[in-house]
Structure 1
């Protein structure tokens, strides 16, 4: 039988209270220790990738009688995914009747087929996706649409009323564990569509701003839309809505102050350390960090203050706290070696940490395949090095040689920046394509039509004997742009007679290349993109250092639109009150230039443009939220000048500079474009020698024959007159 506890005196009571307090303290410390151990564990990232985010801005139509398309949806490379679901959104119309079929495949394996019998309908569906790791870093979605109006295949199956529409809202959703991300290459592939780029604060020094805009530009070049974020400070108000503070950590005053959520003003460094430890996405949840000395110092000071509070409230938890700090905080807060980039797991997320420009260089697309470590130190990389002469294989520009099965129509295409295909005084002059086409059962012919930035530059009827055929196609000057798209469209004549419909391959061979030639770039946007391939200097005012949150994405967007490669470019900060004197091709943002020659006069709300002949094109005042981008000269040097109104627009990736030398822009892109260099340029880019070479047979021979005929007529008339005058 248990005996009830009865206090025997004051000493006994004190001992009991002390024992109870000690027990509870040890229990609380154990809970705090466990909470820190689990603070960065088990956080699962969720991603949703839509075709619209990948650049498909409008619906794609698959037409009758047979069309096939593939879409590539990115996932983290070599990382298993869970709860993966493909939501396919689309619709069909079947105005011409007959049999219509949709075939959907994933990674090359057919997974679903549907036949449609109504005049129109919805094709939306949801499919589970295999969670196996994918070394290529994408899920391949294949779609096929076939229509047969009449089972008698000798009948013309053309049906403009039968088609399948793929909506840009088609998306892949999945989850993955950031703990599975162990190297820089995988961390880059795991970045979301809108990654958070964190910097120390609103004000940066020149070196940190330089690294930040280059990193932002690298993200934009990979189709990302970076979101800027700064480290919060004591006194700043943060939104903690939806932030879950572990119950055990609420025994610490810093975490207890955050538990109520909502808007909260950070009262002291320990509370700041608690915010950084929780790393809520909306407050400080970076995917990429420019870890300069001020950012590392702020992070270390806040975590030191939090550690002091832990030492007071739960000293037995210090061991686990220090272990958590070493794993989650130190990879960001520890000093980086010159040229270092590393992977950290801050707040349970995989984070890329960059210290300087050399560290950012290893994240460029050309070097990323070697980033198979969680820490890389760059000793030397020349991002501007040219490894080709006057011929660049199309494979080096992203156009991988391959074979394409063609039933009716199919296309091969690639895109490349002007900076990748010019430099050293050379410009793209000619596309040389080596093609081959297989024979068909009915010896049907095949054609190849070549487009350069949607300008048809040539076409050929191919021999269907499987042998190599070469097309040498000059590129007109007016077709060049900052970003160039090369497309080859193949068309085949359907088999004759009552035969089953079949596809036959055509190939773009590895020997295809882009030919360069010496040329003097014009003083327009395309010409400047060619100049930037050899040398570029980005010049900003000191005011940009005090407004880093806005100036970093602005510089990244401007350099991308102008065609400046982010890594080899030089960076310069102009002194206050002084005119910049560039020594080579330049991009000057809101900076006055010495000896400036510009067709644009732009003040806070007044815009005036003049032509090359001095005629006034436009004179308008009262403007706001606009900027002007123009090609200008400073002394003997040519460059692009950006100037904005007092209320500068927020530039986005919609800003694309192509032809012309003046563009009025806002947040939606280019509003109006002018060409004062070639206002009436309708030439195809041929010299007089080329014109004679290409056209002498067409015009020269008839002209010579006509001249000979006239001479013969004159000679005959003269002979008759002589005969008449003879006695």
Structure 2
């Protein structure tokens, strides 16, 4: 979403600033030999070790303080990485606070094989310096690379690690290199282990930068105020945006001990609703407080104050860079209206990278529907590329795909910027969208002895996605999320204020709005005629609000188009149900918690639920169980077996009804004939 102006009032009680950056200079030795720092590189085939199998000589193990292991999963590579075709490169950016980093160890678990004899190698670069290189054999082998990284390698809050893979199967360049049947896999347990100085983790921005993706939200042993419940939703929305895994607990004090003496920082803590520390400084009237919380081995964050929601908004805003102290008092941090009809790639966070075009270049990008202006849908793609001319003046073919569907293609000789415009059909885009730009050109090669020459190609910042108003009520969950972008009111029962399952409902609400969506929270019913978009958490729906599935008609059965039952859920008591509902022209969402939610008193990990297509969704403890639409071509039918209308009775008992009517008709006919006969005899 286009970054709009924000207003923020911040009172900083404690501020500490420092900067340190540089580039690591490292020399490496062959596999299995110590380098100049005395560190060994393990290169023998073996079963990939776990992330905790570090050498006792590792600097990160020797250093006192907090250990933080940043795995590939936190960078978005849950299944690791894989290269093939004797070529590949990937840049990884590990978030590290330079002021707190004492020692770092890069640990890569790798597996390699080639079906045919070939000469292959891999390189590891930190920053722009090669720190490790190794030849790869043809047999299946697993090995681990461990390299000490100089803390001076941190630049702009990240350690840049580049993995390069290359090889050749023959000197004949007319042979397709893909026939090698090769691969190099970087396994998911690969990670960067950082030894952190706890004393340097004393500011909010540093704690946020290093906080793990497993986060526990700690609440007091009392009912939450409306403002605190709103802050809980806002915190959840910020954590959902960073794909964090959230759990809840309650405690008498915010710095409750976890009973572990391990210095490994594996779980982050955000406390909500507790009194701020004595050294937090004076709070602004009507503002929220945000401060660093001391938890022993690792720090946490405390959200407090009269308006904790305002402090929670800072967690997902670009104003995090202002959180340079250990305590802040935040009066406001709100997004303004953005009425632009076109959103540039830069606003969507799409990297405008360049590449060398030999025969094919692929640019992959992703964006969320909630990043577009509220109440709109993408209607047009305007793609601008700069393509260099090759020595022969060959045309380059450019194709654009959205969610694996080809939108348009064009050809150009290059030399000047190329524009590719395409309409986006309604219904193609959703909550999460994958954009792929493909550039292809016949390689410029003189003969099989010379390598093909590459020429630069780059996406330009003028590329954009044009939007148009939806023009109708939201019929899909992702459309409702977009419609809520201008503001929504959340209604929750008062019983949710003191329940861990109420916190779980708040987490579900957070998944239905974006981290920037403005909202108000109220305890109590929604009323019969809401006038603005709303989200209702309740067991029943008030009169005057229509829902696709009703719960006052007895059992609910889902059947396919042929009438065969898909699911008979007996009132849906075992599921949390989310539906798009309407009160006249007003769109809302109804969340009906499962029947066990009120009685459950144990916190459980909250599975993020991303609702995309459909207007009815069934959610259980494992996440999204099933979602379907009642407005599109109905492949799923909703029936109520316990509800018998006159039509249903006629269909069920029609043979008996026909028999009864035949008997009644016969009796009437016989009676008429009898009367006629008696009249004739009497006459």
What's the TM-score once normalised by structure 1's chain length?
A: 0.69
* 1:488 matched to 2:437: yes
* 1:438 matched to 2:382: no
CA 1:406–1:526 in structure 2 vs 1: closer, same or farther (change >3 Å)? same
Using the TM superposition, give the Cα deviation of residue 390 of structure 1 relative to its aligned residue in structure 2, in angstroms: 0.9
Q: Tell me, what secondary structure is at the counterpart of 1:642?
A: strand
CA 1:615–1:582 in structure 2 vs 1: closer, same or farther (change >3 Å)? farther
Counterparts of 1:351 and 1:420 in 2: how far apart (Å)? 29
CA 1:233–1:166 in structure 2 vs 1: closer, same or farther (change >3 Å)? closer
Match of 1:181 among 179, 195, 201: 201
Counterparts of 2:480 and 2:115 in 1: how far apart (Å)? 50
The aligned residue for residue 94 of structure 2 is 73
Q: Contact (CA 8 Å) 2:116, 2:138: kept in 1 or not?
A: no
Using the TM superposition, give the Cα deviation of residue 131 of structure 1 relative to its aligned residue in structure 2, in angstroms: 1.4
More helix by share: 1
Match of 2:84 among 48, 59, 63: 63
* 1:154 matched to 2:105: no
Using the TM superposition, give the Cα deviation of residue 584 of structure 1 relative to its aligned residue in structure 2, in angstroms: 1.8
* 1:582 matched to 2:527: no
Q: Which runs of 5+ in 1 are unaligned?
A: 1-41, 245-278, 300-328, 682-727
The aligned residue for residue 420 of structure 2 is 471
Using the TM superposition, give the Cα deviation of residue 566 of structure 1 relative to its aligned residue in structure 2, in angstroms: 5.2
CA 1:502–1:87 in structure 2 vs 1: closer, same or farther (change >3 Å)? farther
* 1:289 matched to 2:271: yes
Deviates further, 601-610 or 668-677: 601-610
Aligned length: 560
Q: Contact (CA 8 Å) 2:380, 2:467: kept in 1 or not?
A: yes
Counterparts of 2:95 and 2:324 in 1: how far apart (Å)? 19
Q: Could you give the per-residue CA deviations for residues 592-630 of structure 1, whole angstroms, max 9, x where no partner exists?
A: 333221122348995445999x99985432866422222
* 1:365 matched to 2:314: no
CA 1:413–1:161 in structure 2 vs 1: closer, same or farther (change >3 Å)? closer
Using the TM superposition, give the Cα deviation of residue 508 of structure 1 relative to its aligned residue in structure 2, in angstroms: 0.8
Match of 2:120 among 100, 114, 117: 100
By relative contact order (CA 8 Å, sep 6+), the higher-ranking structure is 2
Q: Contact (CA 8 Å) 1:579, 1:592: kept in 2 or not?
A: no
Using the TM superposition, give the Cα deviation of residue 85 of structure 1 relative to its aligned residue in structure 2, in angstroms: 1.4
Q: Contact (CA 8 Å) 1:182, 1:343: kept in 2 or not?
A: no
Using the TM superposition, give the Cα deviation of residue 651 of structure 1 relative to its aligned residue in structure 2, in angstroms: 7.5
What's the TM-score once normalised by structure 2's chain length?
A: 0.74
Q: Tell me, what secondary structure is at the counterpart of 1:531?
A: helix
CA 1:225–1:374 in structure 2 vs 1: closer, same or farther (change >3 Å)? same
The aligned residue for residue 678 of structure 1 is 632
More strand by share: 2
Counterparts of 1:336 and 1:506 in 2: how far apart (Å)? 52
Using the TM superposition, give the Cα deviation of residue 462 of structure 1 relative to its aligned residue in structure 2, in angstroms: 4.0
The aligned residue for residue 503 of structure 2 is 552
Match of 1:639 among 561, 572, 588: 588
Counterparts of 2:477 and 2:258 in 1: how far apart (Å)? 46
Match of 2:407 among 457, 463, 486: 457
Alignment of 1:515-534 (within 5 A): 515-521=466-472, 522-534=474-486
Q: Contact (CA 8 Å) 1:92, 1:163: kept in 2 or not?
A: yes
Match of 2:369 among 415, 418, 439: 418
Q: Contact (CA 8 Å) 1:106, 1:139: kept in 2 or not?
A: yes
Using the TM superposition, give the Cα deviation of residue 643 of structure 1 relative to its aligned residue in structure 2, in angstroms: 1.7
Q: Which has the larger radius of gyration?
A: 1
The aligned residue for residue 393 of structure 1 is 344
Counterparts of 1:633 and 1:610 in 2: how far apart (Å)? 24
Counterparts of 1:335 and 1:230 in 2: how far apart (Å)? 25
CA 1:286–1:104 in structure 2 vs 1: closer, same or farther (change >3 Å)? closer
RMSD over aligned CA atoms reads 3.6
Using the TM superposition, give the Cα deviation of residue 216 of structure 1 relative to its aligned residue in structure 2, in angstroms: 2.2
Q: Tell me, what secondary structure is at the counterpart of 2:245?
A: coil
Counterparts of 1:605 and 1:370 in 2: how far apart (Å)? 55
Counterparts of 2:414 and 2:258 in 1: how far apart (Å)? 67
